[in-house]
Structure 1
């Protein structure tokens, strides 16, 4: 007699997106296994700042995801408690000149049409919100919906709350296949895990996982660095960034781009970013990038010029060419689902991604249109 599989779905990836997929799938009544070749949050999640942002997204599918996730994160903060360090502190985007402020004004006007809260702050009021900001800035916009979590803790507590079986330190070496090539589980370097569905939440390795199923998903790593200062009093109250950060996020250039992004944390250190460059998985510590980030942050917050940087770390954002993640069933291979390619927004977009995957897995109509996130949209001939 054939034994019934103990799992309905296997999630590949124990970062925050994979953890959210496991959490919402188990809430929907599915039996879940999570597999990762490393520890929980061992990839992009563990190198993130924990940003939950609507402020940097123009109206469209990604902002729809972000607004849904904003609501879900509030509920998760109540469910998971203070351990995830959820802070609804808001974001402040600032412009150095009038042209930049005009661009922010037009951007905010479009965002408001889809439910984003954005309040214009004239230059002479900026230091009421952030007393240590540089003088002479033209103005900015306050986004009260922006928030932050500690990403590794968020992933760990989501995964724990899911109750999913965990198989950590096990590399996926292949996919089990059924009649007609349907994906029916995974093979690791230690075992086979059969299941009716497999979710690819492998982050920057999402393309390699898709290739195991014989399909293309052009996920590429986009390297970024973060500086961490010594513990300080709360001299930066919100996430504060320069207006050109929005353009850097939207850019598809492979070249180095950086703009000042500065935020305080409950533990005291200030986090300083953000840089972007496509250099493969090159983990070399770039002193050029670190100097540039430090200079840009000090220009925004002059008080940081006398502060010590304790460490720097780097991570790789899972980048797809159109800056949208792949979410949902792969129409090319039965049984394969994708939840990857979120670039630098995965922590913020994780709950919505997990909920939409769970809805699709259980046959419900997803709460958002998944067509813009189809994994086959990069294939030639796909309409």
Structure 2
């Protein structure tokens, strides 16, 4: 079998790449060692956020992505018809709060920097915050409202992107592990090896989430993507009492920390099914999937500071997943200068759902030509290139 492009990974980033490439007329193979959306994309909350990103390249990328998602979600549902469940795109907005006196001013200062970068960050009085979230802890010390924050159902979004890609000719190979790259005498990619044979491709995109580092090492072109474990608690169904995505100001520090030790913050939101999702945690423990009661307990305690009514809630289940962590906290959307024809789309950590479609826009332009853009205009790609100075000490010559 021969294709223009082979995409390794059928999570939301790989699905978005397949969608962007196939709808532009390329022949695409999507390969995953498991099933679509069975990894990180089904073990997260579906965040589409600007509130958790300081001024800089990732925030700019998030703004482009949020400009793309409403139209794309509607187009996917329209193209697939009534047989496709709703992607549950919900521009519900976010509220960030602090529960300590010491935390209030840093949150307000951070919001001021975001406003200077063009983000709609509205400082609320506690009375105004309680009007929006009546069950919020009235002892909160500061609150900022972000109307641009949104949410989507990540598993359905992944399946929707892949379904449209398949309508445009893409083929999805589940339970197909890629064991190596096929390269010509000059070292350029000509396809991939799998356990069942060779698939020819002019270009190969590695979009394997937290497994990207391991896979790139195996392929002789290492990229420093590592797993960072996160957990989510899910309550039983209850009357709707959380109306936005609400989290405490510690969340930004947890996302930006390079510390391998446990980082937790309260992140709370309702689902359309009536449950409440409670996050979040971050720790570097490799691919260790064991449950740690201490981690879940710390998450629950922090959530109670924000919404005391959750003390009455029953936890129905918890789940954990691995996020693709990069040492400089920026994703990779780039060709590999060491191996002609090899591309990477990974390293988004907890922002992969939101940034998937803009990452795919960059990859499609790199592979097929053109300028990546959203409704906001051209997308700057240099900060997400493998050649960036912050990665120089991590990259080794390809084997």
TM-score, length-scaled by structure 2: 0.92
Residue 31 of structure 1 is matched in structure 2 by: 27
User: Shift in Å at residue 381 of structure 1?
Assistant: 9.4
Asked if 1:314 is matched to 2:327, the reply is no
Give matches, 1:159-308, under 5 Å. 159-163=162-166, 164-308=170-314
Residue 154 of structure 1 is matched in structure 2 by: 157
Let me know the Cα RMSD of the aligned residues. 1.4
Which of residues 3, 10, 13 is equivalent to 2:9? 13
Give me the whole-angstrom Cα distance separating, in 1, the residues matched to 2:64 and 2:226. Answer: 26
The runs of at least 4 aligned residues of structure 1 exceeding 6 Å deviation read: none
Query: Would you say the 8 A contact 1:330–1:375 is kept in 2?
Result: yes
Deviations 1:284-336 (A, max 9, x none): 10000111111111121111101100000000111010111111111111000
Query: Would you say the 8 A contact 1:54–1:66 is kept in 2?
Result: yes
Q: Aligned pairs, how many?
A: 378
Give me the whole-angstrom Cα distance separating, in 2, the residues matched to 1:98 and 1:41. Answer: 41
Residue 363 of structure 2 is matched in structure 1 by: 357
* CA separation of 1:60 and 1:39: change in aligned 2, threshold 3 A: same
Query: 3-state DSSP class of the match of 1:196?
Result: strand
Give me the whole-angstrom Cα distance separating, in 2, the residues matched to 1:242 and 1:277. Answer: 18
User: Shift in Å at residue 43 of structure 1?
Assistant: 0.9
User: Shift in Å at residue 210 of structure 1?
Assistant: 1.6
Query: 3-state DSSP class of the match of 2:89?
Result: coil
Q: Which runs of 5+ in 1 are unaligned?
A: none
Q: Which runs of 5+ in 2 are unaligned?
A: 78-84, 373-377
TM-score, length-scaled by structure 1: 0.96
Give me the whole-angstrom Cα distance separating, in 2, the residues matched to 1:117 and 1:259. Answer: 23
* CA separation of 1:291 and 1:154: change in aligned 2, threshold 3 A: same
* Range that drifts further, 192-201 or 176-185: 176-185
Residue 119 of structure 1 is matched in structure 2 by: 122
Query: Would you say the 8 A contact 2:34–2:174 is kept in 1?
Result: yes
Asked if 1:46 is matched to 2:42, the reply is yes
Residue 66 of structure 1 is matched in structure 2 by: 62
Deviations 1:242-280 (A, max 9, x none): 011111111110001111110001001100000010011
Query: Would you say the 8 A contact 1:217–1:376 is kept in 2?
Result: no
Query: 3-state DSSP class of the match of 1:315?
Result: strand
Query: 3-state DSSP class of the match of 1:128?
Result: helix
